[in-house]
Structure formats: structure tokens, C-alpha cells
Amino acid sequence: MSIPLDRREWSVNCCQLSEDIVLSRRPLFDSEPRKGKFILWAVLGFGGKPNPLVFSRVASFAARTAQGLLRPTPLAQGHPRASPGRVQLYVDDPTVSVAGPAESNALAIDLVALWWLSLGIPLAWRKGSWSDNLHRWIGADFVHRAVGHEFVAVVSVPPAFAEELLQMLKPLARGRGCTADAALDVVLGKAGRLAYILPATRPFVAALWGARAGSTSANFERKRREAPPGQHANKRFASAARWLCTLLSPPGPADALLPLETVVAKQRAKIDPDHACIKCDASPWGGGAVLYEEGQPREFLVLQWSATVAEHLHVTIGEPHGQTMWEYLIIYVSLLCWGSRCRHHGVAIMGDNLSALSGTLNLKGKSHLTKITREIAWRKCRLGWRFSTGHLPAERNIVADALSRLSAPAGADKKEFPEKQLRGASQREAPPEHEWWLSDWVVAD
């Protein structure tokens, strides 16, 4: 509303109302009508299709020029007495982070504020805040914390927000009754914010959205309708909602299943594949993985897929269409075996299936792949797993490929145990299958 339009653009920035609107202010000019069904915008109003893009250009100009007044690092050129700082903008909510003595910090902020006022930008002083450490921005709490010789930023979920979302999720978690479409939109919107603050919650939030899509599809077909028009059956959302309730209501900070915070370091600690590396592969009949430390094979894992696991993941043993699922599963089971062992220095996971590697890194996965993603997600936070992924061409993944095909039927697909390449390595037994799927047994109060 603070961005004026050129008078020549007024005619293409109007809207029609269903009922007359009566003017509640003084006319701006003698011929301005007192009532009517058309509004002619002289400023960048709400609802216009191109308006967000136009606003973004203006806001970006303000943010980038303000950053130009600040030194991004202490050694960069700029005002010698002003602290170095960074500007970040989220739609119309800017934040400026500065580091230095109090007087230098104040000068840096003054430079930015004075520049914006000079541009004619109306600042919302009541919404602004100044903090030496803890501050809230776009719905998240930010603090800085010393770790060794450097500082990290800790982004956490505000307690009041977590409690509000928890109360909204409880009716869905019980799985009984229905929820109105508008009320469900509010829950999904808040859950989406949770996923941005805590990436580990993405698969659980994605399950809510998947349930919404399934419910909408069922309600569209009258024969499958699960709820009255404009509503959704809570049973669709029960599993994902129970998990989120469990994550949002831990017994205590020390016992939290998943800490409601994300640590952001200036530089992500690099994982050296030469120190610890897992090479894994899967076939439609089984999976194989090898743990290498300092370039030498230490332990190996051999799995034969069971009918129970295949039924749980909705794939068929021996059929190639489930290849990504099997590749994703062997990565997950490898982490169950060696993730905690390698959490100090981290471990590089190497495989030849890009979709499985991407899901492991980004904690995303569609359909039944989400069952594996959510298991990796909460364990990564709770157990402190540190890993990176890398693509290993199939022709170079010989040992793991051979292990994955030990249980294949006789013929071209079956391979022999690579005894020479695994000399000196010991076989590792995978945890029992019922321990793989703990997220399926979570029950929230």
C-alpha cells in the first residue's frame, strides 16, 4: 500500500465488487463518486496478480542497497566505525545481524534505518525489536551459542507456537470425527512452518499433506466419500498427527525424541570419505553394504528381503519396479548398523541410485518411500548421525552389488561372495526387522 502507481497504470489496476461500497473518507477530488462497484487503485493494492512481483523488486532494491552500506566481513571496505553486518529479507520482514562493540553495532543499524527512511519506506516501529541475542523473526526464535572457538546460530520453535500446534493436532491424532476444510488449512499451514524450522519433521508434515490429497480425492468421488461436504475424516491424518504430537510434547529437553531446534554453523563440517565410507547396493532379492575405514573394508552387511518387509513397503521381491525402494532401504539399514559408530567424524554413503541418495540427504520421498524417510529423519537428530552422500557408478560398485545378489535365483543375476575383496572384514548382523519401523508404533496421548 506504500508503493504509488503511475497515473497511467490506474486503469489496469482496478477490481469489481459484487456489492456497492460506500466512501467513508473525504473525496480526493470533486468528481469522485460516493459509492460504486469498482475500486481504482492508486497504490499497489492487495490481490493483483503481478503485484507480488512488483513489490519484490522494490523490497529487493531496499534490502540490497542497505547491504551495500554494510561491510559483509570485518576486512571488507565500508564505514570504518560501523560493525560488519548482513541483511536478510523475508517478503516485507527484514532482519539485520551485526557483530561488534555496542557503539559500532548501533551505528550500523542507524545507517540502514536512515537509508530506508530516506527512500520513504514507512517502517513499522512497533513490530521491530533490538536484541543482543535472543530474538524472534518470521515465527522462529534465534540465539547465538558458543561452540568451541566459534559461534553458531540456533533456530528453535517458539514454545507458544509448539503448544498451539499441538492442541490443533490432537483431534486429528485421535482419528475420530471430522475437521472442517478451513480449520485443516490452518493446521497444515502451521505444520509447514514447523518443517521449515526443523527439516527433520518434513516427512511427517508431508504425510499430512498426502492425507489431505487422499481425502480430497475420496470426497470428490461420491461412492468413496468419507466425510460431509467441506470436511475431512480425521482417521486419514491420525498416523502423521500422532507422530507430530509426539515430537511436540517430549517428556523433557534431555529426553526429547527430536530437539525442537536446528543448529546453523558458518561452515558445515566436512566429511572425509577416506576416513569412513559405506558403499551399498540393492537388487530385487537382497541388499549389500560394506563399511570402509581408512580405505580398508572393516565390516560388511548382507540382507535377503523378506516377505514381511516387501508387504510393508508395497513392493514385490524379484520385480525391478521397486528398485529405488530397495536401494533406499539398504542405505537406511546401513545407517542403523554404522550411523552411531561414525557420528564423530561422519560417514560418506556411496551408491548408484540417485533418487535414494537424494531422499537420504534431503529427507524427502513420495508415497511409501516416506516410511523410510521418517525413520532416518528422527534417528538422525536423536542419535546424532552425520553423513553425506555421493554417487558411485554401478561399474565401480562391484563388491556391494555382489553382496546384494547372493540370494538371487540361479542364472545371470546371481553372483558369488567377493571373498578376495572382503578379506579381513567381519560380517555385521542387521537389527531385527521389527526395530526398523518404530515410527509405525508411536501412540500419542
Cβ pair 352, 394 in contact under 8 A: yes
Q: What is the mean pLDDT of residues 33-51?
A: 84
At 222, the pLDDT band (50, 70, 90 cuts) reads low
CA distance 427 to 299: 5
Q: Is 170 helix (H, G, I), strand (E, B) or coil?
A: helix
Cell of 270: 566436512
User: Would residue 326 count as lying in a domain?
Assistant: yes
Number of structural domains the chain divides into: 4
Q: What is the mean pLDDT of residues 32-51?
A: 84
Cβ pair 310, 303 in contact under 8 A: no
Pairing of strands 347-351, 387-391: parallel
At 255, the pLDDT band (50, 70, 90 cuts) reads low
Q: Quick one: 302 and 416 in the same domain?
A: yes
User: Would residue 301 count as lying in a domain?
Assistant: yes
Q: What is the mean pLDDT of residues 22-50?
A: 85
Q: Quick one: 339 and 429 in the same domain?
A: yes
Q: Quick one: 207 and 282 in the same domain?
A: no
Q: Quick one: 35 and 59 in the same domain?
A: no
- Crossing angle for the helix pair 202-220 and 369-383, nearest 10 degrees? 150
Predicted confidence at residue 412, as pLDDT, reads 66
- Please give the share of the chain, as a percent, with pLDDT higher than 70: 96
CA distance 312 to 145: 42
Q: Is 286 helix (H, G, I), strand (E, B) or coil?
A: strand
Q: For 99-154, what is each residue's pLDDT tens digit?
A: 889 999 999 999 999 999 999 998 999 888 888 888 888 889 998 888 777 788 88
Residue with cell 470426497: 219
What is the reported pTM? 0.71
Q: Quick one: 374 and 246 in the same domain?
A: no
Q: Give the bridge partners for 289, in sequence order.
A: 280, 301
User: Would residue 315 count as lying in a domain?
Assistant: yes
CA distance 75 to 340: 40
Domain that holds residue 294: 276-441
SS3 string of 361-396? HHCCCCCCHHHHHHHHHHHHHHHCCCEEEEECCHHH
Q: Quick one: 333 and 420 in the same domain?
A: yes
User: Would residue 231 count as lying in a domain?
Assistant: yes
What is the CA 329 to chain-centroid distance, rounded? 21
Position 377 pLDDT exceeds 70:
yes
Position 445 pLDDT exceeds 60:
no
Cell of 58: 522494490
User: Would residue 151 count as lying in a domain?
Assistant: no
Q: Quick one: 103 and 252 in the same domain?
A: no
